[in-house]
A = this chain, B = another copy of it.
């Protein structure tokens, strides 16, 4: 028999969204239970400590200017930040050739001009998308009726500029630009302050890192919540009635006045609701697939690329690795290269033999940083599409037609069930900062209704 718990609010999911919601409710004097499927908190942030204490972030790891919520949380829980290593030249591999550069990429002037024009046009469209209601943008239907890929083909006229936009799509959305709506690309970019910020390191969304890893922020929140957080409790079912909800796991029945569901949309769809969700919500949840990313860490005794005056950061149009960062600890020991395999390439390599995948990734790093990259002392990877309790990263993608036909259902509570998660954020959608905003907003909905 399931153990029964009575509480004010049951939060489903102990990622940053769910934990932030719970914290806000507890601060307002509410009784809260947080149910988490995994044996850890953090969701899409996940930190491993190697034997020597080195911090590896398998999930979200950066923060940048304008991300006040995650910065405040890190400060509160005592998790110092430090700059992503960015001294020296970057590497660019395009059309089979490898360049090093600092400042503007070494593209021919026609490509640079084309890229600058397309980027300006894209950012101008983006800032006109209302963050709280993308479906109300001017010409929303036209923007939502095409894929991001269609826009790129029409607006970036040179092969080089198109490749940079495709790398932007993979690096920022973990997805091919064919997979989602132009309106979503614009909304998401606006929510993160523009193309350059989302793609950038210094002054950009990859500017800083957490000394104790990103998961420590979630753990700090969980510590404040204490035994209100119940791990290893996947939610199977939510019974919704006019005056209460009952949230069921295999062991627990949590009876609450309200629930907040703070898990990725495809997982929210897989909970059994009694009665079933109304059509608007259900059809929305059918249309929010997750991106695909395999995050790979190659660990070396030293950051040897720095000797050559390289930052360790690279951009390539050559699959499977399109984006690389230096992800070493502050003191540079050990040296760590972080390689992203994303979108279609992640899907192709996800089912491959682990050795084949490792060889492909290390081969790509060797092309970019020389043969020394081929022999790390340790190699770690995390395939987020294989994570049962996330099933893809970084975030859900809005397929064409979804924002305009289903957008209003995104944050609309269904009776006493409220919806959180970074996908429901109006700022920094897809980022840790957005996750926190979404949780606080969902908590506020409940507190306002109570008042």
A residues lining the B interface (CB < 8 Å)? 141, 144-147, 149-150, 153, 176-180, 236, 266, 269-270, 272, 275-276, 278-280, 282-283, 286-290, 292, 343-344, 347, 350-351, 383, 385-386, 388, 391-392, 399-401, 404-406
Contact = CB atoms under 8 A, between A and B. Distances in A.
Contacts of A400: 147, 149, 178-180, 399-400
A287 B280 CA distance: 17
A179 B283 CA distance: 12
Contact of A388 (B179, B276, B287, B405): B276
Copies of this chain present: 2
Contacts of A385: 279, 282-283
A347 B405 contact: yes
A279 B386 contact: yes
A236 B275 CA distance: 15
B149 A147 contact: no
B388 A280 contact: no
Given A149-B145, A266-B286, A269-B270, A350 B401 contact: no
Contact of A147 (B145, B275, B386): B145
A180 to B, nearest CB: 8
Contact of A178 (B153, B282, B401): B401
Residue among A180, A282, A400 with the highest chain B CB neighbour number at 10 A: A400
Contacts of A153: 145
A400 B289 CA distance: 12
Given A270-B269, A289-B399, A399-B179, A351 B279 contact: yes
A391 B282 contact: yes
20 contacts: A145-B147, A145-B176, A146-B146, A146-B147, A147-B400, A179-B401, A180-B400, A266-B286, A269-B269, A270-B272, A278-B351, A279-B351, A280-B351, A283-B290, A283-B347, A283-B391, A283-B392, A286-B288, A343-B405, A399-B399
